[in-house]
Amino acid sequence: MIHNRIGTKLGIWMMTLFFIVIFFLSIAIDRIFSNFHQTEMTSNVNEMTSHFVMMAASPVNTSDHSLDAFADFSEVSIFIINQKGAVTAHSGEHDPTDHSFIRKKDVQSIFSGDTVNFTHKDPNGNRYIVSGMVVPASEGNPDPDQAMYVLASTDHMDESISRMRTLLLMSGIGAMLLALGITWISAQILSRPLLQMQRATRKIAVGDLETRLPVQSKDEIGLLAEAINDLAKDLQRYRDTRQEFFANISHELRTPITYLEGYAKVVKEKLYTSEEEKDKYLDIIQEEASRLQRLVNDLFELAKMEEGKISLSLEWIDLTDIVRSSIRKMEWKVNEKGLVMRGSYDEEIPLIVGDGLRMEQIILNMLDNAIRYTDQGDIRVHLHKGSKHVTITIEDTGIGIAEEELPYLFDRFYRVEKSRSRQHGGTGLGLSIVKKLVELQGGTIKVRSQAGVGTRFDITFPLPERQEKQE
């Protein structure tokens, strides 16, 4: 039961609540019934008393004998008293020597015309409802010095109240048992998913990230289970990508290092036949060293971005200037490959908020890719102004990218054609860095491509509010 504590606590609370409600409800029902019986009986006894009084005062001579018969028949006792309170006549079962119910104060009120009602307990412990009335002087009763007490035993009433109490007690116990059952079931229903979650989170904590919880409801408990499942999925994805990332890094580092080691050995041990061959090996060593440097730089940059440690110096920047100067910087590469690069600009491109150097890094990287993966044709760069955005489009007529590769293009270390990209000196990190830098400045990047036809990248940045209003 210890591991089911929330269920126990909940159960105790619910049972206490049930008990309090049932307890007070029973007391209230008991009071209502008892008072009802008491009032009912008192009014019956009063009615009977006035009836007997009328009989006693009736001009038709009612004998003591017939009063006796009525008293017996109605199971009551009758006491006739005078103004002094002395009993002058008696009939019925009640002990005739017990006069303790005749009180001076009551006798006075009775003879002044009031009806007196009370409950009396005789020396043997029997209870009676007592009603006292004066017998008015009349033709049949010329004696004005007479009053009548009628005593009705409460045995029948007490019996029915006690039956009602037994019934109340039984139904109270029944209700408590039912409540106990309901409480137990609802405590189980509530605590079972919580215990499941506790077990699942423990499993997740020790690395069993395949653990999933069944989501059986749309309430808070269901939402919590869903959140735990999402957490497990995220952790799993994070673990997998981290493993993949480290595997990729070691692979990427190993290749240039193998080249460096191999060719350095060839040169050191003079395993070449001519000076030109030696120069060729030294060129390879230089190329691999600079690739290694690029890779380390890119990795460092990416790590900083992922940790959120990169700080942008945001200012108002002119995209037209940045695109123009980037194209100029790439001119020699374009000429070297015998390509053509053209820039076109919409009029009055508004300033946007961004980091000038990072923006240039993005554009240089995109232009570098376009040149790298285009063997003939031209590269077009267009700066377009929309109502709420400004878009830089870089379009080439290069080798293109197959459609199924596009979703992974911005993943770290993703290369469409591994050997070709390596041969072009790429690290497979360029586009993921570009995407992060674009997003850090509030922009988006989209790609459209067709293998063998060309590739188009659209980088869009929102215009700041001030600029939008100016339009």
Q: What residue ranges bind ligand ADP (CB under 6 A)?
A: 369-370, 373, 396, 398-401, 409, 414-417, 421, 426-431, 455
Question: Are 158 and 79 within 8 A, CB to CB?
Answer: no
CB of 302 to ligand ADP, least distance (A): 11
- Residues in Cβ contact with 450 at an 8 Å cutoff, skipping those fewer than 6 apart: 400, 403
Which pair of structure tokens corresponds to residue 84? 């002094």
The amino acid sitting at 22 is: I
Which pair of structure tokens corresponds to residue 174? 């029944």
DSSP 204-234: HHTT-TT-------SSHHHHHHHHHHHHHHH
Distance, in Å, from the CA atom of 278 to the CA atom of 271, rounded to the nearest integer, reads 9
Beta carbon nearer to ligand ADP, 157 or 339? 339
Which pair of structure tokens corresponds to residue 445? 């990047």
Distance, in Å, from the CA atom of 439 to the CA atom of 458, rounded to the nearest integer, reads 13
Beta carbon nearer to ligand ADP, 362 or 399? 399
CB of 320 to ligand ADP, least distance (A): 22
CB of 205 to ligand ADP, least distance (A): 36
What angle (nearest 5°) sits at the alpha carbon of residue 207, between those of residues 203 and 209?
A: 75
Q: Is the dihedral of CA 242, 248, 252, 253 positive or negative?
A: positive
CB of 366 to ligand ADP, least distance (A): 8
Beta carbon nearer to ligand ADP, 118 or 408? 408
CB of 367 to ligand ADP, least distance (A): 9
Beta carbon nearer to ligand ADP, 79 or 373? 373
Torsion of CA 267, 268, 274, 278, to 10 degrees: 30
Residue for token digits 């037209």? 320
Beta carbon nearer to ligand ADP, 327 or 409? 409
Beta carbon nearer to ligand ADP, 327 or 399? 399
Beta carbon nearer to ligand ADP, 141 or 391? 391
CB of 424 to ligand ADP, least distance (A): 7
The amino acid sitting at 146 is: Q
CB of 325 to ligand ADP, least distance (A): 20
DSSP 54-106: HHHH-SS---HHHHHHHHHHTTEEEEEE-TTS-EEEEESSS-TT--TT--HHH
DSSP 393-408: EEEE-SS---GGGGGG
CB of 247 to ligand ADP, least distance (A): 17
Beta-bridge mates of residue 149: 79, 132
Distance, in Å, from the CA atom of 215 to the CA atom of 193, rounded to the nearest integer, reads 9
CB of 199 to ligand ADP, least distance (A): 43
Stated length of the chain: 471
Beta carbon nearer to ligand ADP, 92 or 454? 454
Helix locations, 269-309, DSSP H = 275-306
Beta carbon nearer to ligand ADP, 234 or 375? 375
CB of 340 to ligand ADP, least distance (A): 15
Beta carbon nearer to ligand ADP, 98 or 417? 417
**β-bridge pairing 340-345 and 147-153:** unpaired
Of all residues in the shown chain, the one whose CB is closest to ligand ADP is: 426
Q: Is the dihedral of CA 168, 169, 170, 175 positive or negative?
A: positive
- Residues in Cβ contact with 291 at an 8 Å cutoff, skipping those fewer than 6 apart: 256, 425, 427
Beta carbon nearer to ligand ADP, 321 or 439? 439
φ, ψ of residue 130 in degrees (nearest 5): -110, 135
CB of 469 to ligand ADP, least distance (A): 36
